[in-house]
Structures are given as structure tokens and as C-alpha cells.
Structure 1
Amino acid sequence: MLKKILIANRGEIAVRIIRACKELGIETVAVYSQADKDALHTQLADEAVCIGGPSSKDSYLNIANILSACILTGCEGIHPGFGFLSENPKFAKMCQECNIKFIGPDYQTIELMGDKAMARKVMKNSNIPIVEGFEDEIKSQGQALDIALEIGFPVMIKAAAGGGGKGIRIVRNAKEFEHNYNTAKSEAKACFNDDRVYIEKYIENPRHIEFQIIADQFGNVIHLGERECSLQRNNQKVLEEAPSSFLDEKLRDEMGKIAVKAAKSVKYNNVGTIEFLVDSSKNYYFMEMNTRIQVEHPVTEMVTNVDIVKEQLKIASNLKLELTQEDIVINGHAIECRINAENPRKNFTPCPGKITELNMPAGLGVRVDSAIYCGYSIPPYYDSMIGKLITHGKNREDAIVKMKRSLGEFAVGGIDTNIEFQYWILEQKDFIKGNYTTSFLNEKMVNEDA
């Protein structure tokens, strides 16, 4: 087992990793920016090292400073969490070259799956269902339009190096193609320093369903069932569930086997997620693979009783996966609401500031993953998510009731949050019925404003 690791992240995921390490007897080193000197993860870790200024590029994206901190504190490995450097192949490669264990897949796999166009090719060659599209290099706007016309509108233009809902445009006709093509390329360049895009058929009103996989270095691969991630605003997930009420047992088993096959096709090692689009006829298509822990991993932990972060650490310690597919049993239902410091009434404007009052919900089947505390000042430099509220019930109805009760108890003073907005979602009739797709939230909000 690894004896000491550095956590190259902040916020609730850093705290989550520290807790898993403590239970496994692993020492931890937290890194922090000047803006995070009072952050909870710096207080819970065994050691803490400042790695730069407030901005991400000066701190949490500063590879040289992070590696230096790791070496100086005698750490054997680095856990990148999610976001920041978690899917950066250059960082993973440099860890390897410095004889530091990167707690995740190897850099070649990250690079391969990080190129969404190349990932499509790999899956296509492995007979994994993919959406009709064109993933080769597009050399001009004219060629791109010809491809779109051949595929047939509507199409999606997507950043090849993309992720997190960035660099995506839906185009419904030739007239609006030029503007959206140029906008997608510009956003891809700004977000990923890579303006390559690819084009695929746009599936109208799909479900976004992902499967959690775990793989060790001995070729053992299992899945932990699916997560329903269709509740999104502008391609950003808002609320997640496990399992999906849309899948029946036959389809769940079939998609799970395909997810395992997809992971094996790239010799995957550690935890990851295979994401699918599922249409109204229950045809499913590979969308992408995330080579890291996911924000929404707690809902899977709640229904399987598997600690996914601990599994990451064990696999990184060269231990064989103890779980088999037969060991995985889905128990009840779990829901996660992402709690953000933002004002939904002002177009979800981020709301950093000092927390003057705080009451977190509790009780049987309630979990809060967060790094906030009363008196903590939320810095303006990072993502607005300040926590995740997860409830587990004997069935979906029970989980919804617990979530509504828990949101009612969750009080954060001094800043705006989206807690009331999450409660509003839970009150919608179509959500209660499980009758929603990726377009549900945007359409519902437009209708509410009309």
C-alpha cells in the first residue's frame, strides 16, 4: 500500500481523498494556493504546502510546483482528483518520469481518451456503438459543411480535446453552420488550447447515462452500474441519480458489458467512466470516456457500498481487484444535488464571499461532501460548487423525499446558493415521474420565464 501521497486538488474532492487515505493509513500532503490558505483540506491533511498565487495557472495547474512539493515532502504518489490536472497526459507522464505514482490510468490512455475524436475511432474499431459522425481531421469550413450535409442536420460540432460541456454547438441547418463552427473552434482554442473539432449526428432529447468502471493492472475489469446524468443546464450536470429509472435490467446488463468491453479495448487501469447517449428507443451510443474520478461518484457508492476512492488507492498500490462483477448489487436509490455558490435568479452568477451561517443536513441516508465551514470565505477564482448533497433511500420515491427534507435543512448564510433551485427541480412532475432528458431543464426554465 502507498504510504504517503500528495493531493493535487482543492475543495470537497481533496477532503474526500484525505478521508479515504486516513482510513487506509496513508499520510497526506495538501497543496494550496494563496487564496486557499484557510481551506479545510489544508487543515485535515498531515502536511500542507503553498504552491503559488490565487489563479489556477499559478497553483493547481502549476506542474513544476506540484511535482517539487511532492518530491520535497517524500510522497510516493499524486492523486489529481477531478478537474485541474486530472486528465492532463503531460502531467501523468512527468509523474512517471519522476518515479511518482499517478493515481489514475497511464498517460497514454489519458491522451488517447482525451482526444474525443480519436476515442470515437478506437471504440468504432472495437465494435462499440457510436453516433454517426466524422472524426478525421477537418481542414476547412467548407469541408465541415459538406460533412454536416452528408450526415444530415441537426449535427453537433464538438471540441476534439474537449470535456465538461465546453466547445459544443448544436447546428440545425446550413444557414447557421458557419457561425457555430467558428464559435466552437474559438471556444475549443480558449478552453483547451486546441481548436480541432469533429462533427457527429445530434441525437434529439437523449438520456445521458454513464457507467462507473474499475480496472486493475491484472486485466480485471468490472462496472458498478449506471448513473443518470440527464439533468443538465448548458451541458453542465446539475443533479445525478443511480440507478437510472429509464433502463430495464436487460439493457442495464447489456450496457454494462459494453462499458467493460470499452475499458478493456484500451487496457484501462484504475477507475473511469464510460458515458453513453441513449435515445427514446433505447438505442445507446458511446459518447466519451472520463479517465478520472467523477464529481457524481457518491451516488454509485451509496447504492453499491463500494468506496471508489479507496479502490483507486489500492489499484495504484499494485493490489489486485478483490471485487468481482457478481459482488456488485444495486441497493435502493441515490440522488446527488450539486450545491453551488451562485444566484439562479441572476443567470446563475457565481457568488463568492464569507459564509456567516451554516447548517448542514444529517440523518439516516444523508451524506454531505463539502469543504465549507462557518466563517470560511469562498474565493472567486475557482468553480462555484461548494458541496454535494446525497441521499439514499429504499427506492427512488424515498430518495426524493429525503432529498427534499435535506435541502430544507441546508442553510448557508452570507452568500447566494442554488439550494432553492434544486428543490424546485424535485417538485417538477416530469422529474418525479423520471420523465426527463438532457433538454428538460433548459426547456423548463425557458417556459417558466415566458
Structure 2
Amino acid sequence: MFQKILIANRGEIALRVLRACKELGIQTVVVHSTADADAMHVRLADESVCIGPPPSRDSYLNIHQIVAACEITGADAVHPGYGFLSENAKFADILAAHNITFIGPSGDHIRIMGDKIEAKRTAKRLGIPVVPGSDGAVTEEKEARRIAAEIGYPVIIKASAGGGGRGMKVAHAEADLQIALQTARSEAGAAFGDDAVYIEKYLEKPRHIEVQVFGDGFGGGVHFGERDCSLQRRHQKVWEEANSPALNAEERSRIGGICAKAIADLGYSGAGTIEFLYENGEFYFIEMNTRLQVEHPVTEAITGIDLVHEQIRVASGGGLSVKQEDIKFNGHAIECRINAEDPRTFTPSPGTITHFHTPGGLGIRVDSGVYSGYKIPPYYDSLIGKLIVHGRNRVECMMRLRRALDEFVVDGIKTTLPLFRDLVGNADIANGDYDIHWLEKYLAKGE
């Protein structure tokens, strides 16, 4: 097991990893920008190192400074959390060259899954169902028209190196294709420095289903069930559930088994999430995230297994603590992402939190690094906390969530709490009857 882990992140995820390290008896080092000097994870860590000014490029994305912090403090491993350098293959390679363990997959696996086209090819080879579309990058309009005609309209054009909804355009008919292709390539080049795009069949009312997987580092793999992340705004997840209200036990077992086998065949090590669009009983691969997900707590709630403990255990060479037959699903869990944003316009709302009170009681968990008097900086992601609720079934979970949202108090800034209080009372949400377009339609109607 590791002696000292450096946590290369901030906010609630840094605190989440720190707690896991403390439970395992591992010394902790956190890095921080000058803007985060008073953050909770900085206060609680065994050691802290300031690595630069507020802009991410000068601090949390500064590989040289983070490696230097490891050498100064004697950290023998780095946990990247999510975001920032968590899916940076170069970072993983550099750490390996300095004999520091990256708590995550190999640089090669990060590279494969970071390229959307190569990831799709790999998924197909591993037996994972994929969305019909191009086998590689599409550069010519003539080729795009041929592929679109073969798979049928509507089609979606996506940036190969993309994410977060950038470089994505839908063509509902042939007349729309030229401008969609040009716009997607232009956005991709501007956002990612790579204008490569590919084409897929556009599904009209799919759900977003993702399967939590782990490779044990020795050629084995397991799955921890699925999460439903269909409530999204601009391709960003807002509300996540485990298990999905849309799947039955047979579908869950089938797609989970496919994913676990694929991870084993890939020789993958650590946590990963294989994401799908699901429509009419069929799963279609979107991408694989080679890191811990924001929404991992709902999986922990229904399995009782600490996924960060498993990450650390696998990275240290100890393999997984459970086999597939040991993983049982108990009840239902929902996570709401509480952001420092206007609940309707989603405009960021940095500022000082004058009062902060979290709900409690059976089945309630809040992952947050903020406190009364904490100043939300304007430089980073607006997530200030996650409310995770667990119940014996979805009905109990929803009732408990309603109560927890009423108890949650964040004063001094605007947050998305009012949005969730609206959603928990909506009939479609109560019935689990929603898809990836539902939330944006709901917001557009101003209900």
C-alpha cells in the first residue's frame, strides 16, 4: 500500500479522496492555487503545497509543479480525481517516468479512449454495441453524404477529440448536412486544436446509461451496475440515478456482463465508465471515461463499496477486494449536483456563502468542500456539492430526496437547489419517464 498520496485536484472530490486515504491510514498531500488556500481539503490534509495562481493552466494543470510537489513531499502516488489532469495520458506517463504511481489506468488506455474514433473502434472490437456511423474521421462532404444516406437521417456530427457538447451538430435532413459538418469542424478545431469529426445515427429520445467498471490490474474485470444520467443541460449531467428506472434486471446483467468482459479483455486497470445511449431496448456506445465520475456516490450507495478505496487498492497492486458475485444491488440512489449557478439561466454565481446547512438523517450523504463564510472563486467549475439520497426503493428515495432538499440551506449566492425542488415534484420525474432532451424542454417551457 502507498505511504503518501498527493491529491491533484480541488473542491469536493479532493476532500472525498482525502477521506478515503485517511480511512486507509495513508498520509495525504494536497496541492492548491492561491485562490484555494482556505479550502476545506487544504485545512484537513497532512501537508499542502501551493502550486500557482488561480488560473487552472498555472496551477491544477501545471504538470511540472505537481511533479515537483510530489518530489518535495515524498508522495509515492497521485490521485487525480476527475477533470483537470485525470484523463491526461502525458501526465500519467511523466509520473511513471518519475516512479510515481498514477492512480488510474495506463497512459496508453487513456489515449485510446480519449480519441472518440479510436474508442469506438476499440469498443466494437471488444464486443460493445456501438451507434451506427462512420468507422473513422470524415473529411469530405461527399463521404459524409454517403454515410448519412446509409445510416439514415437524422445524423449527429461529433468532434473526435471533443467533450462537453462542443463540436457537435445535428443534421435532420440532407439539406442540413453541409453547414452542420462545417460548423462542427470549425468548433472542434477552435476548442480542441483538432478538427477531426465523425458521424453517427442521431437517436431521437434516448436515455444516457453508463456502466461503472473496474479492471483489477491482472486481466480481470467487474461491473458495479449502471447509472442513469439522462437529465442533462447542454450535455452536462444534472441528476443521476442508480439503478436506472428504465432497465430491468435482465438488461442490467446483460450490458454489465458485456462491459466487464471488455474491460478484462482490454487489460484495463482501475476505475472506468462505459457510457451508452439507450433506446427501444438497445444500447449504443458513446464513450469511455477513464477516471472516477462525479456521480460515483450513487453506485457506492447501492453496492456499499467504496470505489476510491478500490482505486487505491488496484493501483497499489492489491487487485479488487470483491468478485462479481460479491457485488449486490440494494435499493435506489439519486444524486443532485448543487452548483453555484442561477437555477434558470445557469449563469455562474461566485461569492461568499453566508450560511451553509446540509440535510441529515437516514440515507442522506452530502459531498461538499464548502462551509459558512467560504468564498466561491470565479475561476473553476461551479459545483459546490452533491446531495446523494438512498432508499429501499425509488419511491422511498424520492420522498427522502424531497425532504433533504427542503432542509438544504445555502445563503449568499444563487444555487440550483430551487431547480431540484421543482423537479422532485414533477410527474415525469416521479415516474422515471424522461430522456436526454427532457430537461432542456422543461426549462424552455419555463415551468
Question: Which one of 371, 374, 388 corresponds to residue 372 of structure 2?
Answer: 374
Query: What are structure 1's unaligned runs of at least 5 residues?
Result: none
What amino acid is aligned across from residue 407 of structure 2 in structure 1? Answer: E
1:387 and 2:378 are equivalent in the alignment: no
Partner deviation per Cα, 1:346-369 (whole Å, 9 max, x = no partner): x21000000111111111100000
**Percent of aligned positions with the same letter in both sequences?**
53
Against the structure 1 CA distance between its residues 265 and 168, is the aligned structure 2 distance closer, same or farther, given a 3 Å change threshold? Answer: farther
Partner deviation per Cα, 1:179-225 (whole Å, 9 max, x = no partner): 33233223323333322111100111111111111111112211111
Name the structure 2 match of 1:312.
Answer: 311
What amino acid is aligned across from residue 358 of structure 1 in structure 2? Answer: F
Counterparts in 2 of 1:418-429, with a 5 A limit? 418-429=416-427
CA contact (8 A) 1:51 1:65 kept: yes
Partner deviation per Cα, 1:124-177 (whole Å, 9 max, x = no partner): 123321110113132234433443233321111111112333332222123333
Against the structure 1 CA distance between its residues 186 and 41, is the aligned structure 2 distance closer, same or farther, given a 3 Å change threshold? Answer: farther
Aligned residues: 447
Name the structure 2 match of 1:229.
Answer: 229
Equivalent residue of 1:67, what SS?
Answer: helix
Equivalent residue of 2:424, what SS?
Answer: helix
Name the structure 2 match of 1:272.
Answer: 272
Name the structure 2 match of 1:344.
Answer: 343
Equivalent residue of 1:83, what SS?
Answer: coil
Query: What are structure 2's unaligned runs of at least 5 residues?
Result: none
Name the structure 2 match of 1:215.
Answer: 215
Equivalent residue of 2:169, what SS?
Answer: strand
Name the structure 2 match of 1:335.
Answer: 334
Instruction: Give the RMSD, CA atoms, in angstroms.
Output: 1.3
Equivalent residue of 2:445, what SS?
Answer: helix
Name the structure 2 match of 1:147.
Answer: 147
Deviation of 1:446 (Å): 2.0
What amino acid is aligned across from residue 85 of structure 2 in structure 1? Answer: L
Question: Which one of 394, 399, 402 corresponds to residue 401 of structure 1?
Answer: 399
Partner deviation per Cα, 1:222-248 (whole Å, 9 max, x = no partner): 111111111111111000001111111
Deviation of 1:6 (Å): 0.7
Name the structure 1 match of 2:196.
Answer: 196
Using the size of structure 2 for normalisation, the TM-score is 0.97
CA distance in 2, matches of 1:107, 1:386: 30
CA distance in 2, matches of 1:27, 1:273: 28
CA distance in 2, matches of 1:427, 1:170: 32
Partner deviation per Cα, 1:370-407 (whole Å, 9 max, x = no partner): 01011110000111110000000111011111111111
CA distance in 1, matches of 2:58, 2:361: 40
Partner deviation per Cα, 1:322-350 (whole Å, 9 max, x = no partner): 201111110111000000000023x2100
Deviation of 1:447 (Å): 2.6
What amino acid is aligned across from residue 151 of structure 1 in structure 2? Answer: I
| Worse-superposed segment, 252-261 or 164-173 | 164-173
Deviation of 1:420 (Å): 0.6
CA distance in 2, matches of 1:387, 1:184: 33
| Worse-superposed segment, 19-28 or 121-130 | 121-130
What amino acid is aligned across from residue 333 of structure 2 in structure 1? Answer: A
Name the structure 2 match of 1:107.
Answer: 107
CA distance in 1, matches of 2:299, 2:363: 13
Name the structure 1 match of 2:320.
Answer: 321
Name the structure 1 match of 2:434.
Answer: 436
CA distance in 1, matches of 2:255, 2:49: 43
CA contact (8 A) 1:220 1:321 kept: no
